[in-house]
Chains A and B, each alone.
Chain A
Amino acid sequence: MASVATVDRFAIEPAAREARVAWLLALPAIVLLFLFILLPTLAVIVLGFTDFELGYAGFRFVGFENYAELVSDRTFLRSLWNTAVYTIIVAPASIILALAIAMLIEAETRGRAFFRTVYFLPVASLLVAMATVWQFLFHPTIGPVNAFLATFGIAGPNWLGASGTVLYGLAIIGVWQSVGFNMVLFLAGLTAIPRELYAAAQIDGAKSWFDRFRLVTWPMLGPTTLFVTTISVINSVKVFETVKTLTEGGPNKASEVLLFTIYQEGFVYLRVGYASAMTVVFLAILVALMFLQYRVLDRKVHYA
């Protein structure tokens, strides 16, 4: 009896000790995770049901009133629409361009490092600063873009100053800024494709460049493309820096985007409750995009 008990104690004690150490090591992370991520997320959901405004003492629960207001809030709807348009332009353009550039660089033996550096440079540049440079490039009268167009006899638009073109202007900056990031991921994906597959495809009659792309490159890049797509879409939905720096949502709310509207309502007008409801919509969009990614991941890309 006694000996069994001692054996047990020896067996359990190190395990219990290890568990205790594990808790201790993870404790700071757990505390901070609750403090700065989980609780604030819960709080934003709760605040979305209140009329809380910073500077006023109390607040009351208003149920779905904020959400009812959102549905008919023209600025908010406009901002959802603009965010969607921006995303629909920037995400596909930056993915396709990045893939094309990555394939061209991969096929080239010389100058690889140079081209990779050049296309990646915008990722390492301060976006607020480069947005300022783009503002100059896009200047309607003294900007090089329109001066360049003028040499072909084209009268360039007032890119960032007209409501018809402002989203396209911002989209161009967005594409320019994100292509390099996607390209690096595609380059990593391309390097991982075994050379033999191309040889095998060639033997099987894939003669043209396009056949090889269709039969080998594209399917083998599946997982990379999915990741790049998710990242690009999420980053486009999160567009903020360029809008805040260059247009402040204008002219005429033509460049109001989701995060800028939230920023404006919450941190400028201090309508925290209402802005929280907007934030919940923003979070719901992110969650929906993630689910979409998992579903595609489950169904389509099984090449690994």
Chain B
Amino acid sequence: MITTSLSMGRVARLTVLSLGALIFLAPYIFMISTAGKAQSEIFSSSLSLIPQQWSYIENFSKALSRVSMSTLFINGVIVCALIFVVQVVVAIPCAYAMAKLRFQAARTMMLLVMIGLLVPIHATALPLYVAFDRLSVLNSYLALVAPFSISVFAIFLFLQFFRAIPDDLIQAARLDGMSEAGIVVRVVVPNAWPAITAFAIFSVVAHWNDLFWPLIVVTNQDYATPPLGLLYFRAAEAGDDYGALMAATLIITLPLVTAFLLAQKRFVEGITMTGLKG
């Protein structure tokens, strides 16, 4: 009974999945296609995918000349790396203290973490902006990174992970004369790599893509992150030069998409593990 309906069911299933996949891929297909078309061609035939005369070089050089892509990428990497490193360095010891040490404030901390999970950057942005303005630190890496130095979500994630580490392991390390800081570095962190990787993916994807906060604190192109840079490019690009625009979007989308394609399994695991965050 199952085998007979299987082939029919499979055909229907694969058809639906393939059609859906085509729709989901359509933006990428048109992006790649349009990035190679000349202005005149874009305005005449919109459904043919292969450019009649290849204008890739022209469009890409336009995209590269108007906004410094390398600056954008370097800024993106610096900001994401700083945010991730600080988040982990701050969150891991705290989560360890809450999970494995006699810590009277653990319960209060848990409550604060829960409150923190509820408050997005959009809610704290106004006072932080006013404060950063008063301190004259707008337009700096400090302004881009500081509000994200604390990730209550990281504490929450690591806390759950650390609770599963056997107490005996930590006790044994203590008997070997290791300090608590030593235990964090040499026992807890090596055991928490899956959680750290998952959090890394979560954090980098979130901050690489974030437009809201960079838009607020950065007005100087020198500190623009990729999303902000693309916004500048769009503003500079008067009219409808879609060829150059698509070339720019292609360049700017490529790094994270490549990373995803290379490390898909980790991405999906990371999202599954960290997906509980709103």
Interface residue ranges, A against B (CB under 8 Å): 15, 18-19, 21-23, 25-26, 28-30, 32-33, 35-41, 43-44, 47, 52, 54, 101, 104-105, 107-108, 111, 113-130, 132-134, 136-137, 139, 142-144, 147-148, 151, 176, 179-181, 184-185, 187-188, 227, 230-231, 234-235, 238, 240-241, 244-245, 259, 262-263, 266-267, 272, 275-276, 279, 282-283, 286-287, 290
Q: Tell whether A276 pairs with B126 under 8 Å between CB atoms, given A126-B227, A132-B245.
A: yes
Task: Using A132-B234, A133-B28, A286-B123 as known contacts, list a sample of 4 further A-B pairs with CB atoms less than 8 Å apart, ordered by residue number in A.
Answer: A19-B101, A25-B184, A262-B122, A286-B120
A36 and B149 contacting across the interface, CB-CB below 8 Å: yes
* Closest chain B residue to A234, Cβ basis: B278
B208 at the interface (CB under 8 A from A): yes
Can you list 23 residue pairs at the A/B interface with Cβ under 8 Å?
Answer: A22-B102, A26-B94, A28-B89, A29-B94, A30-B109, A33-B150, A36-B150, A38-B116, A111-B17, A115-B21, A118-B21, A124-B205, A125-B256, A129-B227, A132-B249, A133-B249, A137-B27, A231-B275, A231-B278, A245-B230, A266-B126, A282-B123, A283-B123
Chain A hits for B242, CB < 8 A: 136, 139, 142
B130 at the interface (CB under 8 A from A): yes
Which of A26, A38, A44, A115 makes the CB contact (< 8 A) with B98?
A: A26
Chain B hits for A279, CB < 8 A: 122-123, 125-126
A36 and B128 contacting across the interface, CB-CB below 8 Å: yes
Chain B hits for A21, CB < 8 A: 97, 101, 180
Q: Tell whether A130 pairs with B249 under 8 Å between CB atoms, given A36-B124, A101-B17, A286-B120.
A: yes
Chain A hits for B64, CB < 8 A: none
Q: Distance in Å from the Cβ of B137 to the closest Cβ of chain A?
A: 13
B10 and A144 contacting across the interface, CB-CB below 8 Å: no
A259 and B126 contacting across the interface, CB-CB below 8 Å: no
The binding surface of chain A is classed by DSSP as helix
A37 and B264 contacting across the interface, CB-CB below 8 Å: no
Chain B hits for A119, CB < 8 A: 20-21, 24
* Closest chain A residue to B16, Cβ basis: A104
- Report which residue of B16, B124, B259 has the largest number of chain A beta carbons within 10 angstroms of its beta carbon: B124
A18 and B102 contacting across the interface, CB-CB below 8 Å: yes
Chain A hits for B230, CB < 8 A: 126, 128-129, 132, 245
In the assembled complex, the Cα of A137 lies from the Cα of B46 at a distance in Å of 9
Q: Distance in Å from the Cβ of A272 to the closest Cβ of chain B?
A: 6
In the assembled complex, the Cα of A205 lies from the Cα of B255 at a distance in Å of 51
Which of B21, B31, B112 makes the CB contact (< 8 A) with A33?
A: B112
B227 and A128 contacting across the interface, CB-CB below 8 Å: yes
In the assembled complex, the Cα of A37 lies from the Cα of B122 at a distance in Å of 11
Q: Distance in Å from the Cβ of A53 to the closest Cβ of chain B?
A: 10
Q: Distance in Å from the Cβ of B9 to the closest Cβ of chain A?
A: 8
B123 and A176 contacting across the interface, CB-CB below 8 Å: no
Chain A hits for B98, CB < 8 A: 26
Chain B hits for A244, CB < 8 A: 211, 215, 231
Which of B14, B96, B181 makes the CB contact (< 8 A) with A108?
A: B14
B91 at the interface (CB under 8 A from A): yes
B186 at the interface (CB under 8 A from A): no
Interface residues of B in 262-278 (CB under 8 A from A): 264, 267-268, 271-272, 275-278
B147 and A36 contacting across the interface, CB-CB below 8 Å: yes
In the assembled complex, the Cα of A18 lies from the Cα of B246 at a distance in Å of 58
In the assembled complex, the Cα of A185 lies from the Cα of B272 at a distance in Å of 6
Contact string, B1-29, partner A, CB cutoff 8 A, digits 1/0? 00000000110011011001100111110
